Chain A
């Protein structure tokens, strides 16, 4: 349970970090170390070089604008959870951050670390694909932006190159005007330390929240641990769009989720159970999002 020997590097700027990455292709970047540290403890990972990016304060920022939300890679889960500005502007990020592990892990773990780990059970990956987020990557000689759906390619596998680091995640605010959008994140998990069996992120935008039965203009839904990648299901979204929420549309959405998730069996949950969970959580997460879209003020 002790890590193998490594050389330690502590850059204080992004340019120095990317230079080190270019020089040391086998190096691992270390952010909050809440996942890499486990892999190193178990010697699943034995990097020769560790580039500790906790000194990169330039990646520790929340940029909350009218048109876009941008979160720096080194923002801790705790800071997203507790940011009232973020809770107001894009609540699903604060809610999903607050549901990661326990508070001590949230003190250290970062947005970029979670995206880099690319675990299909992670909270942010499902939020990113559901909300149409994008990820900006940097190296010594280029910057590129990747849609979340293209970024996550397989179980704990992503499309980042060895010489790149994650700068930030970005979301367009346009589809989610606060006064008529509700967001929710629900999951089933057995303990703070365990991964969720299934979790679901959603947003619902209504046409007119003051109407007695507001019509849903657009819905978004993303599933974690329901496939080998975070999974957005547009057919499930379509089931509740174009009319007010009802038991009938929710039932259809739940049935489609049951049919279309592609879960793996695990020790505590077989495939059928996970399909049933996806079905039930879909109905609940849409209902909660809808209630929040039509409530005044937005309740988190």
Chain B
């Protein structure tokens, strides 16, 4: 009954999965133990997905699965077979920053930048449901993410700026996915 944990990698059980990442379908043969975060980084080559704590505390690996934010280090890629995933790389269009990214840039809402893609995804998710959040709502919604540089003030200001930019320009309205 026991899996021989000393077995060579190519002898362990694998599964084929097809996952649509930022609109592109990726088919890959993977071990069930491969975390979604590692799948996105090493199979989809999307290094915007950051691997921080790897146990669900820091939020750096936050992505959207079928429209819901998840910590991708607490899902296994096999679980997302057939699903649609959005990472921070999927936000920008035609080489220009998404308004949330633009607002983070303008507000200097990052210091080391490691947590930024997770915060951008949480902000995107917040503004999709609530285009003009109060500061309290913003704090609550971003409570799944940690900035170890403690740059929260500028991050909250970036959320406000993104909300303003989006509400000023109808064409920037977020899709409610």
Which A residues are within 8 Å of any B CB, using their own CB? Answer: 1-8, 10, 24, 26, 33-34, 37-38, 41-42, 46, 48, 50, 52, 54, 101-105, 107-108, 191-193
Contacts and interface: CB of A to CB of B under 8 A. Distances in A.
A34 B56 contact: yes
A191 B71 CA distance: 17
A8 B1 contact: no
B56 A105 contact: yes
A146 B176 CA distance: 42
Interface in B57-75: 57, 59, 62, 68-71, 73-75
A5 B33 contact: yes
B161 interface: no
Nearest to A50: B32
A105 B140 CA distance: 13
B3 A5 contact: yes
B135 to A, nearest CB: 16
B108 interface: no
A105 B144 contact: yes
A48 B15 CA distance: 16
Given A8-B32, A193-B56, 17 more contacts: A5-B13, A6-B3, A7-B32, A8-B13, A8-B15, A8-B76, A34-B74, A37-B55, A38-B55, A41-B73, A48-B1, A102-B144, A103-B141, A103-B143, A104-B59, A104-B62, A104-B71
Nearest to A78: B68
B13 A101 contact: no
A24 B15 CA distance: 20
B35 interface: yes
A107 B33 contact: no
B27 interface: no
Determine chain A's interface SS by DSSP, over half rule: loop
B94 interface: no
Contacts, number: 95
Interface residues of B, number: 37
Interface of B: 1-3, 5, 7, 12-13, 15, 31-33, 35, 38, 53-57, 59, 62, 68-71, 73-76, 78-79, 122, 140-141, 143-146
Contacts of B2: 26, 48
Contacts of A7: 3, 13, 32
Contacts of B69: 103-104, 107
B75 to A, nearest CB: 7
Given A102-B143, A102-B144, A104-B59, A33 B74 contact: yes
Contacts of B78: 8, 10
A104 B70 contact: yes
Contact of A104 (B15, B32, B79, B144): B144
A108 B75 CA distance: 9
Contacts of B5: 4-5, 46
A5 B74 CA distance: 15
Nearest to A1: B54
Closest 3 pairs (CB-CB, A-B): A102-B144, A8-B32, A1-B54
A97 B129 CA distance: 19
